Every structure is written in C-alpha cells, then in structure tokens.
Amino acid sequence: MSGVTRFPARATGPADRMAGFMAHLRLNGLALGVNETATALAAAAVVNPTDAAEMRLALKAVCAGTREETALFDDLFAAWWLNRGRERPGEAQTSATPGRPEHRHSPFVTEALSALGRGQADRPEGGEGAAEQSGEGRLVGSRIARLNRTDLRELVSPEDIVAAEDTARRIAQAIRDRRSRRLKADRRGARLDLRRIARDSVATGGEPLRLYRRSRPDRPASIVALCDVSGSMTVYARVFLSFLKGLIGANLRADAYLFHTRLVRITDALRDPDPLRAVNRLGLMAQGFGGGTKIGGALAAFNRGYAKARVNGRSVVIVLSDGYDTDPPDLIARELAQLKKRGCRIVWLNPLKGWRDYAPVARGMAAALPHLDHFAAANTLDALAALEPELSRL
Amino acid sequence: MSDWRMLQDRLSDQGYVAGDDLAMALYLALTLERPLLLEGAAGVGKTEIAKVLAILKEAPLIRLQCYEGLDAGHAIYEWNYQRQLLAIRAAGERGETGPGLEARIFSEDYLLERPLLQAIRQDRPPVLLIDEIDRADEEFEAYLLEILSDFTISIPELGTIHATAKPHVILTSNGTRDLSDALRRRCLFVHVDYPDRATELAILAKRHPGLEPRLAAQIVGFVQALRREDLDKTPGVAETLDFAAAVAGLGVADLTDDPVALKAALVTLLKTQGDRARVPTEVAQRLAGKAA
C-alpha cells in the first residue's frame, strides 16, 4: 500500500489526519475531546513520526483511558493508519476516505440495533399462550396496572424503557443507603462529639476552640450486575439493558457485565451519555448476542478477572438470567460458592420465575439455588419494583 | 537512538525494567508535562517507577498515600491552630489586637504544608506520587483537578499560590473503582500488566545479578505458570523477587531438586490460606518441573 493512495485529496496535513484519527476513535467509543487531539499532535511532534510502532505507543498513552481501551487501541490504530480492512485499492480515488469508520462499522451498528430491538420483533407466538404464561395478567384494575403486570417481553415502548430505568435507579438508591450503626468523626456531622470537644479544650485552657462532630457514616454498597443476553433471554434484553443503565446511572460504584458465551464489561458503554452511541458500543461488545449460554464459564471468568478488584463484603451481585446453561451445572454451583467467599450477597433475577407453575428445574438454576441470598421473579415491572424492599434489607 | 529509548535505558540502569508502553508514556508525560496515570494489579511496580524517576531526575519524591476519607486538610494544607492560639494568648497579654495580629497568625509561619502544597513550592521540579487514588473518595478527585491542570492552590486567607516548579505527577490506581472521566482526561494513561517472561527475566537479572541464569529461568517460569493457576491473590513482581531471594537464601540450585525447600519458599508467593491449599507440594513440583 503506497502513501499516495492513503491520503485523500481533502486531508491536507498531519493535523487533518490526526483529527480524522480522533474522530475514528471517538466513533469507536473512546471519550476524546479537542484537548486530546492537541495533546496527540504534541506527542507526535516529540517522537519519530516515521516509525509506526513508536507512534502507536505514543498515541496509545494519550488516547486510551481505560484497560479496555488499551486492549482495543492497537487494532483501531492499525485500521486507521495502516489501512487494514480496506476492501478495494481503488477506493481512495473516490470522495470517501478509505476505511472511513462510518462505512466500515455500519454493519455492526445495524446488527447491534436489530439485536437490541429483537424484543420488539420477537413477540410471543399467539396472544393466548403468552397470557397463560405470564401468570399474573388476569386481575386488572387500571390500564397502568395491566401494563405493569404484562410480561416484560411485551413491553417495548419507550415509556416502559424509561420506567425500567427508574425502577433500577430506585433499587440502586435503596441498596446504596446502608448506614452504619456506629458514629464516626465527621467534619460536617449532625451531632457534636462532646467528649472530644471537652478533652481538646483542656489543651486550650478550657476554651472549646474546635467543635468536633460525629455522624453515621454512609457505607455505600457496590452493585455488580451480570446480565444474560443469550438466545433464550433476547426477548428480555432490551428492558434488562435499560434496567442496567438505570443501575449504573444511579451509582458510581455500580458495575455491569453482559454474558452469553463470553463475559464483557459494559459499564463504560452504559455510562456513555449519548444513548445511540451506547447502543453501538454495546452491540460491538456483544457480538454473539443471542447465541448459546455459558453461565458457569462466565461466572468463572468473572471470578478470575474482575471479581478480585470489584467484589467485597459490601457488594451485591445481581445475576439476570433464566438459568439455561450449556456448561455442567456443578460449575455454576462451584463458581457461585467461590464468589460467595468474597462476602458479597448474590441476588438472582429470573424472568421465568414469574410464570405460573414455574419450578427451577433448569439444572443450572437448581444447582445455583443453595448459594443465593435472594431469588426473585423479574418478568414484570412490578416484580422488579417489588425488589426494592427486599434488596434494601440485604 | 530515540529519546524515549534512552529513558528506558536509564530506567534500566537504575534497576527498573519498563515495557515499551510504560517507557513511552513516561517519556511523553515528562516532555509534555502531563500527569501520568498508572493502572494495574498490585505488585507490578507502579509505585516503584516514581521512586526510580525521582532518583533519575535527582529530584525529591513527595508521596501522598490516598485512603478513604482523605481530605484537603491532610492533602493540601492546614493551619497550625495550636500555634495560632498561643500567639493570640501572648498578644492578648501584651495588649495587642487588631488587623496586625490577624495578618500575622494567618501568615506562612502558621501554615502547615501537606504533600500537594509542598510539591508545588519546591525550587526544582519534584516527583509527586499520588498513590492508590482509587482509595480516595470521588470528592477528593475533584480537589485534585485544579492542582493537576493549573498547578495552583487557593488558600482563602493567603491568596492563590502558583507553582514555582511544575512537579512530575504520577498517579497510581489498582482499579478497584472507576475514576472520573475528568481526571482520566487530564492524565496520560498506561495499563501496567504482569511482565512477560523476557521482561521478568530482565528484572530478575537486574535485581539479583548473582543468580545463576538457569535457576533464574526456572524461577520465572515457575512464577509465570503459577500466575496462570486459579489463585485468590496472583503474585506480582515483588513476590517474584522475594521468591528468588528465598530460593537463593535456602541454597537451592534447582527447583525440582528439593520439594521441602520449594514448599518453604512458597510462603513468599502464596499469601492466602486458600492459595496455599490450592498449590500443594505435588502441584508445585509439577509446575517447577514444567518450568525447568
């Protein structure tokens, strides 16, 4: 590949190319501003710009901000500067930049959108069967009540998504507020620490110079959510993802993961303020969305990797899954037991549990039961909302 | 040879073997005068780099260890209340009052410098190490932003203090919580991973030059194999060095030779009861055999 074909007529100099690269990174979900472009140019000026490896290292230090981005960066760099993934050599002559990200990634974007929208398209076959399965849909007092009790599979309107987010936010708040019984020194505390004031004033001749205060410290619990997005769960995926978004948005210590056959951390993507871009990032991460499930494997990956740093005695781990697993069931049991050793509480939300006559017969589910602190239905918005008092007690 | 390679070599002369990612990021941080954020597991040498840098630059190292509840009074500055009070008493006895006294007790003499203030008031650029920033609260990150972007500190009674020398700032994080985007954006970022085999061998050769190459290769192979095992606490580089010291101290010439000595030396690598149970002597022997 020659340098001539790489540069379109419009890109006049290094600054332009760098701006283009930044746009390329931004489109792939890295949070970069104008400032970073300036820093990147400054960095390029102090290294040898003809050495690709050196440029890559330099730009990586400037642009990548998290571990995940670091892992992604080399490919993104190669895609832009080294023209990897270009289909036709003649493309450079057309007005579009070769390897222009909009072009290259559009299939992923549509795929992700359709995957997330599948809940919409994939309505249950025949209204009757679904009503029978959703169990609670019989007694209806008002339109809202009926809506709240409909199985989540049938909930796809934007308002429902917002409602799911709100529910999640309330739950996150409920879990967050875990107050200690003990009083602790606190500069802005509500109560005076008379004992300490009196003792300190001895040193100053009986003048209470400083007022010490105490308060009940807020002990924030961290929430870790693991969401199953395998084939059997796709119909719920849209609402559950909104639920996760609500959890993440409400609590800076919350952490979210998707799993199907692999485990993917999606916290950063969910924090993305631009919802469309968040969806795109999720889609890119969740390739294989809607395939088989390896719950045990995903839990194992979580235990080996993220759990060490992110799960402690004040964590609540929420698993959203139907328990249909292709891994051997004792793997789930073993990994849950292992996770439990970190002192966290484990809550399993199963959309199937709300169905009439549901018994946890899926072998994975049966194996998991003894290790759970709370096992609840998650098939209606009401069921999700009903979790609030339960979880605040944990 | 390019400048960043030279920096890598000079680090190496000081006994710190830095990967390309880290060396480049450090070089850029020094040249562009930006803070450097290092993230990675415990024991991969994040704090060490600041110490080595301080030696290289022949600059003082100022360290701020973060913890939950760290506040401005401990990180930036504090007034010396006791001295102020004594001064007021003494002045009262002399019959002195008024603005003169007030100006005096809020002067530099009564100011206690904490690490951040100390760092911007040096004659020559110091190395400022802000260790384990993820342990501090989110509010404290916000305090840091002003200092990291402008290198100024506002003290209401004294005015704004500008940096006399811009410190080289190194922040470390163990990744136990997400740092705010605002903080990340002000820093250059490197994720420091466990070293690969060659790098770890180089580190070992630097730190324990007396070690026989064959035994060193065995030790590194053993630790690398151990890292792939399912452990609660994965051993870091510091543990490798301890282990090497222990093995050398026990007079072992070959890891596979002496199961008892190997078992004894394992205390330097395995730090929890569960891990000890998970790696019994036979497993250790097998790993050592493979590493040989």
- Please list every residue in chain A whose beta carbon sits closer than 8 Å to the beta carbon of residue B29: 61
The angle formed by the CA atoms of residues B104, B105 and B107, to the nearest 5 degrees, is 65
Picking from B4, B89, B188, the nearest residue to A62 by CB comes out as B188
**Spatial distance between the Cα atoms of A392 and A262, rounded to a whole number of angstroms:** 30
**Spatial distance between the Cα atoms of A209 and B86, rounded to a whole number of angstroms:** 12
What is the structure's pLDDT at B240?
A: 92
**Spatial distance between the Cα atoms of A232 and A19, rounded to a whole number of angstroms:** 43
b/e map A57-70, b = 16+ CB within 10 Å: bbbbbbbbbbbbbb
What is the structure's pLDDT at A105?
A: 37
The tokens for B130 are: 């802000």
Report CB contact under 8 Å: A253, B185: no
b/e map B106-136, b = 16+ CB within 10 Å: beeebbeebbbbbbbbbeebbbbbbbbbbbb
**Sequence spans of domains, chain A:** 14-82, 184-215, 222-393
- Please list every residue in chain A whose beta carbon sits closer than 8 Å to the beta carbon of residue B191: 64, 66-67, 70
**Spatial distance between the Cα atoms of A36 and A24, rounded to a whole number of angstroms:** 13
- Please list every residue in chain B whose beta carbon sits closer than 8 Å to the beta carbon of residue A66: 39, 184, 189, 191
- DSSP single-letter state for residue A261: S
User: Which of 242-271 (A) contact B at CB < 8 A?
Assistant: 252-253, 267-268
The tokens for B6 are: 């030279």
pLDDT tens for each residue of A9-38: 455 678 888 888 888 888 877 878 888 888
The tokens for A74 are: 């080399």
- DSSP single-letter state for residue A258: E
Q: Tell me chain B's radius of gyration from C-alpha atoms.
A: 24
Q: What phi and psi values does residue A273 have, to the nearest 5 degrees?
A: -65, -25
Q: How far is CA A278 from CA A27, B74, B125, in A?
A: 11, 39, 42
Cβ–Cβ contact A84 with B under 8 A: no
Read out DSSP for B174-216?
--SSPPPHHHHHHSEEEEEPPP-HHHHHHHHHHH-TTS-HHHH
Q: Which helix (H) or strand (E) holds A192?
A: strand A191-192
Q: Which of A263, A237, A264, A381 is nearest to A320 (CA)?
A: A237
Pick left, alpha or beta for residue A263 (phi over 0 → left; psi -120 to 50 → alpha; otherwise beta).
Answer: beta
**In the block, residue with structure tokens 């332009």:** A16
The residue ranges of chain A whose pLDDT is under 50 are 1-9, 85-150, 152, 155
What is the structure's pLDDT at A5?
A: 42
**Spatial distance between the Cα atoms of A61 and A365, rounded to a whole number of angstroms:** 44
> Which of A26, A308, A331 would you mutate first to test chain B, the one with the most B CBs within 10 A?
A308
How many contacts (CB atoms, under 8 Å) link A and B?
85
Report CB contact under 8 Å: B185, A67: no
b/e map B149-177, b = 16+ CB within 10 Å: eebebeeeeeeebebeeebbbbbbbbbeb
Chain B nearest CA to A307, separation (Å): 10
What is the structure's pLDDT at A95?
A: 37
What is the structure's pLDDT at A86?
A: 43
Q: Which of A152, A351, A115, A124 is nearest to A234 (CA)?
A: A115
Is residue A253 classed as helix, strand or coil in its secondary structure? Answer: coil
Q: What is the ipTM of this complex?
A: 0.81
What is the structure's pLDDT at B50?
A: 93
Picking from A36, A51, A210, the nearest residue to B81 by CB comes out as A210
User: Which of 178-237 (A) contact B at CB < 8 A?
Assistant: 187, 203-205, 209-210, 222
Is residue B274 classed as helix, strand or coil in its secondary structure? Answer: helix
What is the structure's pLDDT at B125?
A: 92
> Which of B191, B227, B231 would you mutate first to test chain A, the one with the most A CBs within 10 A?
B191
Report CB contact under 8 Å: B178, A187: no
The tokens for A218 are: 């807020």
Cβ–Cβ contact A310 with B under 8 A: yes
**Spatial distance between the Cα atoms of B238 and B219, rounded to a whole number of angstroms:** 13
- Please list every residue in chain A whose beta carbon sits closer than 8 Å to the beta carbon of residue B38: none
Burial label for A100, CB within 10 Å (0-12, 13-18, 19+), is: middle
Picking from A35, A57, A268, the nearest residue to B20 by CB comes out as A57
Nearest CA in chain A to B28: A43
Chain A nearest CA to B16, separation (Å): 19
Q: Which of B260, B275, B219 is nearest to B242 (CA)?
A: B219
Alpha-helix residue ranges (DSSP H) falling in chain A: 3-6, 14-27, 34-46, 52-63, 67-81, 101-116, 118-121, 127-134, 143-149, 158-176, 194-203, 234-250, 267-271, 275-285, 295-304, 307-310, 329-340, 363-368, 381-385, 387-393
- CATH homologous superfamily for A222-393? von Willebrand factor, type A domain (3.40.50.410)
What is the structure's pLDDT at A140?
A: 31
**Spatial distance between the Cα atoms of A220 and A314, rounded to a whole number of angstroms:** 8
The tokens for B263 are: 């078992």
Cβ–Cβ contact A110 with B under 8 A: no
Q: Which of B123, B198, B24 is nearest to A59 (CA)?
A: B24
Q: Which of B290, B247, B251, B285 is nearest to B269 (CA)?
A: B247
Is the pTM higher than 0.80? no
Q: Which of A234, A245, A116 is nearest to A171 (CA)?
A: A245
| Cβ pair B281, B263 in contact under 8 A | yes
Cβ–Cβ contact A304 with B under 8 A: yes
pLDDT string in tens for chain B (292-residue length): 688 899 999 999 888 888 888 999 999 999 998 999 999 888 888 999 999 999 999 999 999 999 877 877 888 888 888 888 888 888 888 887 778 888 888 888 889 999 999 998 999 999 999 999 988 887 788 888 878 888 888 888 888 888 888 899 999 998 888 788 888 888 899 999 898 898 899 999 988 888 888 889 989 999 998 888 878 788 999 899 999 999 888 888 888 878 888 888 888 888 888 888 888 888 888 888 776 6
What is the structure's pLDDT at A12?
A: 64
